């Protein structure tokens, strides 16, 4: 079994090099080529560990497809245009998006599909599902050719490695992954130091002793390079995830195995690890690099503004009762405030000067 072996390997590394940052631990647990969570399994769906909006309702990807067709018109109908998805999972969102895009044939014809996917297992599934669109697999955004860009990412940012800092009496210290007296993986604190505090978002630096704050340098770096591209060529990026705004104390790191919460340090590689997204940090990174930001808006509001109910009515026409109920229940899960409608949020990052995309016209949220 691979999982205990990865735990042993991490333990040996800690003995040799000292405690790991949580980001280094997360990256290994998720992406170790031999035993990492995403490297070794198909995590999505009922038989997997968690489910996502596109797996719950086809309306999610379809509405994003229509939203992108509209954005494409607004950026001057470029042909070709790079369509990029970060972390496409089983390819479901993209399949739904492309089907809806086909209602605007010039748009569909202009799309050149690029997928950023770390998992070989999921890449194979995406290739199978999306072969008609001839996807190109790329390691990161930097490998996507220059030019007009439409990018979508659902539940991608939450999978990026985070770091945690804990406020002590005088200073901030980084929470690290070390070993306890029995040699088991355990959280330990790095040395308290003034520089550690500089990594904590400015408004949170004066938090009381004991406060835990998370940062996600990988998300900031990704958004920075994305936003720079959007200042060089017209385009838009839509990111949907669970998270909060404004920046707030954590911790939110969580492990999930077979749809149940688990201990993040128990059997690394066998559970999904993720953290809530700090949408304020995302927005700030995008603005600092010169792009324009709309939202975040709650997912329920976003989907409703894109016409979710109309789409539901169209799909329900001619469907039998069981199918109609399933369609309505699926959309309900995505939109209801008590389910995914409020915790999940959508943010749009656009080339400067573009008006608010469909779905972002209303007021944003300033509280999670
Ligand atoms: N967007 C899909 C899947 C979400 S799960 C959906 O909504 O159903 C997270 C996805 O991101 C998976 O496809 C996972 O393999 C991928 N992923 C996670 N970290 C990644 C990284 N650093 N680089 C590329 N892909 C990554």
Q: What is the pLDDT of residues 319-363, one digit of tens each?
A: 999 999 999 999 999 999 999 999 999 999 999 999 999 999 754
Report the chain's mean pLDDT, rounded to a whole number: 94
Residue nearest to atom 15 of ligand 1 (CA): 119
Q: What is the pLDDT of residues 244-267, one digit of tens each?
A: 999 999 899 999 998 899 999 999
Quick one: which atom of ligand 1 is closest to the CA of 218?
22
DSSP state of 193: B
Q: How far is the CA of 89 from the centre of ligand 1 (A)?
A: 6
pLDDT of res. 364: 52
Quick one: which atom of ligand 1 is closest to the CA of 158?
9
Residue 365 has pLDDT above 60, yes or no: no
Residue 155 CB–ligand 1 contact under 6 Å: yes
Quick one: which atom of ligand 1 is closest to the CA of 27?
22
What is the DSSP pairing of strand 235-244 with strand 212-215?
unpaired
Query: The pTM is what?
Result: 0.95
Residue 117 CB–ligand 1 contact under 6 Å: yes
Q: What is the pLDDT of residues 251-309, one digit of tens each?
A: 999 999 988 999 999 999 999 999 999 999 999 999 999 999 999 999 999 999 999 99
Cα 263 from chain centroid (whole Å) = 21
Note whether 147 and 81 are within 8 A (CB): yes
Cα 186 from chain centroid (whole Å) = 27
Percent of all residues in the chain with a pLDDT value above 90, rounded to a whole number: 90
* Average pLDDT score over residue span 48-54: 89
All structural domains of the chain, each given as residue ranges with its CATH number in brackets, are 40-161+215-297+346-350 (3.40.50.150)
Residue 172 CB–ligand 1 contact under 6 Å: no
Q: Return all residues near 178 (Cβ < 8 A) that are at least 6 apart.
A: 14, 18, 19, 20, 185, 186, 187, 188
Q: How far is the CA of 136 from the centre of ligand 1 (A)?
A: 16
DSSP of 37-71, one letter per residue?
Answer: HHHH---BSTTSSB--HHHH-HHHHHHHHHHHHHH
Q: How far is the CA of 157 from the centre of ligand 1 (A)?
A: 8
State the DSSP H helix or E strand holding residue 341, giving kind and residue range, or none if neither: none
Residue nearest to atom 3 of ligand 1 (CA): 89
* Average pLDDT score over residue span 225-237: 98
Nearest Cα residue to 13 out of 24, 23, 4:
24
């Amino acid at each position: 079994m691979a999982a205990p072996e990865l735990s042993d390997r991490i333990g040996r590394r800690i003995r040799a090099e000292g405690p790991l940052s949580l980001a280094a631990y997360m990256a290994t647990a998720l992406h170790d080529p031999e035993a990492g969570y995403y490297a070794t399994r198909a995590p999505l769906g009922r038989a997997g560990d968690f489910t996502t909006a596109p797996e719950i309702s086809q309306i999610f990807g379809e509405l994003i497809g229509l939203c992108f067709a509209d954005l494409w018109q607004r950026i001057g109908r470029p042909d070709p245009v790079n369509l990029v998805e970060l972390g496409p999972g089983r390819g479901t969102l993209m399949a739904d998006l492309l089907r809806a895009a086909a209602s605007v044939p010039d748009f569909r014809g202009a799309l050149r599909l690029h997928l950023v996917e770390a998992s070989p297992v999921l890449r194979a599934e995406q290739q199978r599902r999306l072969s008609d669109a001839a996807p190109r697999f790329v390691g990161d955004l930097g490998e996507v050719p220059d030019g007009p860009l439409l990018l979508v990412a659902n539940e991608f940012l939450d999978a990026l490695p985070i770091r945690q800092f804990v406020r002590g009496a005088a200073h901030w210290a980084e929470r690290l992954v070390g070993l306890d007296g029995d040699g088991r993986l355990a959280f330990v604190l790095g040395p308290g130091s003034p520089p550690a505090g500089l990594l904590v978002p400015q408004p949170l630096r004066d938090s009381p002793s004991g406060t835990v704050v998370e940062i996600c340098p990988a998300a900031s770096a990704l958004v920075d390079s994305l936003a720079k591209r959007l200042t060089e060529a017209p385009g838009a990026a839509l990111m949907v995830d669970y998270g909060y705004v404004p920046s707030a104390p954590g911790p939110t790191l969580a492990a999930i195995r077979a749809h149940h919460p688990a201990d993040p340090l128990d059997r690394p590689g066998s559970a999904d690890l993720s953290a809530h997204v700090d949408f304020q940090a995302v927005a700030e990174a995008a603005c600092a690099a010169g792009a324009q930001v709309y939202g975040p808006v709650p997912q329920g509001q976003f989907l409703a503004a894109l016409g979710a109910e109309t789409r539901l009515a169209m799909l329900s026409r001619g469907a039998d009762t069981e199918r109609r109920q399933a369609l309505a229940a699926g959309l309900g899960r995505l939109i209801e405030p008590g389910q995914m409608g409020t915790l999940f949020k959508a943010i749009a990052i656009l080339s400067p000067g573009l008006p608010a995309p469909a779905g972002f016209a209303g007021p944003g949220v300033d509280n999670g």
